[in-house]
Structures are given as C-alpha cells and as structure tokens.
Amino acid sequence: MGLKKSFGDKIYDLRMGLELTQEEFIARLRPPFSRTTLSYIENGISMPSAEFIKAICEAYNVSADWLLDINDTIALTIKEKQLLDKYNKLCEKNKQLVFNLLDALNYKIDKDEQKGSS
C-alpha cells in the first residue's frame, strides 16, 4: 500500500473512530482546510501538506509518527491514559453505561451551547 493511501486510511479511521463527518472533522482544524482537501487525502488522491499534518496532530492529539505510519500508537495525555485504563477494567455492561453517559453529557452540552448562541 502506498503512502498516499496509508495516510488517507489513517485519517479516515481517526475520523470514523470519532464518529465525525468530514465537515465536523475539518471544523476543528486551524488553519481551516476544505472538505475537498480532506476527501482527496482520505481517498489517496493527494498528499497532505506539512501544515495539514500539524493541524491534525494539534486538533486530535495524535502524533505525526502515527499519521505517517512510523509508529502505530496514538499520543495520549496522562489523564487520557488513566481514563482509558479505568475504562478497560470495566465489564462490557459498564462500558456501555459509560458510553451512554458520555452521549447524554455531550447532548446536554450541545443543547446548552445552542441556547447560549441563540
């Protein structure tokens, strides 16, 4: 598999893992990039610029090594590692409960933000 496709697959997998649309994914990037740029990169049509790679790393806390398939680990903060360790110790039923609680919390936050911007 070529570097173009491998990099595009990494970006696609990251985006799908976060359950984001292309529009939602690029909205977090600074400086802003177009959805078309993201689509071309995900589909292996074009290679990303260094600026694009840097924006992905900063917005999603992943390392350039991981994106470029130099290292297969995603950079996590200490707090994220602690949360992940605690989550991994849960039984499947409790993992689903945590997932549902996070969904409910995110829904409430989104609603509160919508009220604030009205």
What Rg, from alpha-carbon coordinates, does the chain have? 16
What angle (nearest 5°) sits at the alpha carbon of residue 110, between those of residues 86 and 21?
80
Clarify whether residues 15 and 59 are in a common domain: yes
pTM for the whole structure: 0.59
Clarify whether residues 12 and 61 are in a common domain: yes
State which residues form the domain around 47: 3-67
Clarify whether residues 53 and 21 are in a common domain: yes
Clarify whether residues 57 and 83 are in a common domain: no
Residue 44 falls in which region: left (phi positive, over 0), alpha (psi -120 to 50) or beta: left
How sure is the predictor about 115, in pLDDT bands with cuts at 50, 70 and 90?
confident
Predicted confidence (pLDDT) per residue in 52-101, tens digit = 999 999 999 888 888 887 865 666 777 887 888 888 899 999 999 999 99
- The CA-atom distances, in angstroms, between 49 and each of 37, 105, 113 are 10, 35, 33
Quick check: is 72 in a domain? no
Q: Which residues lie below 8 Å from residue 22, measured CB to CB, with a gap of 6+? A: 15, 35, 38, 39, 42
